[in-house]
C-alpha cells in the first residue's frame, strides 16, 4: 500500500533485501534496452520489468543490488517513494511543490521502516525532494535514499 508522504514520519533502509524479493520493478523503455543483453528483463503488454529468477531479482547479490549508477532503474533508486505528476488519492497530503511544478509523492508501507505519523521529519522531507529530483533527472545519483551505512547487511 502507498500512502501520501505527509502521513509518514520517517523511513530508513537497513538493507534487509526483502523488497528486492517481493517487488517486480517496472522499467522505462530506455532502462529495458540498457539491461536487455543481461537476459533478465522482459516486456509484457507494452510494459517493461525485471524478471524474477528463483523468486527474486536476479541483480540482487546477497542482500544488496549489483546494479549501480545509470544501470540501476529509477523505480529502485527511489523505492519506497513513488512520484506522480497527477494525484492518485489524498491530493493535499501527497502534494509537493518543486521548482514551481506540482508533484504528488507516496510512500510504500511495505517496508517495516516506513513509520506512519503526522509531521514528517526534516530528513523525510529531504528524501521526498530527492525522489522527485531523481525521477525528473535533476539528480543522477542517490545521495540520501540509501541504506543506513552503519547497519550491516545480513549475508
Ligand atoms: S527498503 Fe525496507 S524492505 Fe527494502 S531493503 Fe531497505 S529495509 Fe529492507
Ligand atoms: S535492480 Fe537492484 S534494487 Fe532493483 S529489485 Fe533488483 S536488486 Fe533490488
pLDDT 10s digits, 84-137:
999 987 799 999 999 999 999 999 999 999 999 989 999 999 999 999 999 999
Question: How far away, in angstroms, is 100 Cα from ligand 2 center?
Answer: 32
Chain position carrying cell 534496452: 33
Mean pLDDT of the chain: 92
Residues with CB under 6 A from ligand 2: 20, 25, 50, 57, 59-60, 65, 67, 73, 76
Q: How do the domains of the chain map onto residue ranges?
A: 2-135
Residue nearest to atom 3 of ligand 2 (CA): 76
DSSP calls for 57-109:
-TTEETTEES--GGGS-HHHHHTTEEEESS-SS-HHHHEEEETTEEEEEEEES
Residue nearest to atom 1 of ligand 2 (CA): 59
Q: What is the pLDDT of residue 147?
A: 80
Residue nearest to atom 7 of ligand 1 (CA): 13
Question: How far away, in angstroms, is 75 Cα from ligand 1 center?
Answer: 14
Q: Which ligand is nearest to the CA of 26?
A: 2
- pTM of the complete model: 0.91
Question: How far away, in angstroms, is 58 Cα from ligand 1 center?
Answer: 17
Amino acid at each position: 500500500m502507498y500512502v501520501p508522504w505527509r502521513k509518514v514520519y520517517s523511513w530508513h533502509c537497513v538493507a534487509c533485501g526483502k523488497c528486492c524479493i517481493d517487488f517486480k520493478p517496472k522499467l522505462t523503455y530506455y532502462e529495458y534496452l540498457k539491461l536487455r543483453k543481461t537476459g533478465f528483463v522482459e516486456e509484457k503488454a507494452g510494459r517493461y520489468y525485471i524478471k524474477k529468477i528463483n523468486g527474486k531479482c536476479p541483480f540482487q547479490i546477497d542482500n544488496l543490488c549489483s546494479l549501480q549508477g545509470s544501470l540501476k532503474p529509477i523505480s529502485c533508486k527511489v523505492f519506497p517513494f513513488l512520484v506522480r505528476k497527477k494525484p492518485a488519492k489524498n491530493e493535499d497530503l501527497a502534494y509537493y511543490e518543486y521548482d514551481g511544478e506540482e508533484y504528488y509523492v507516496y510512500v510504500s508501507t511495505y517496508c517495516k521502516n516506513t513509520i506512519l505519523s503526522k509531521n514528517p521529519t526534516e530528513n523525510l522531507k529531504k528524501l521526498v525532494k530527492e525522489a522527485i529530483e531523481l525521477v525528473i533527472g535533476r539528480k543522477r545519483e542517490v545521495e540520501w535514499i540509501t541504506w543506513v551505512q552503519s547497519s550491516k547487511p545480513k549475508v
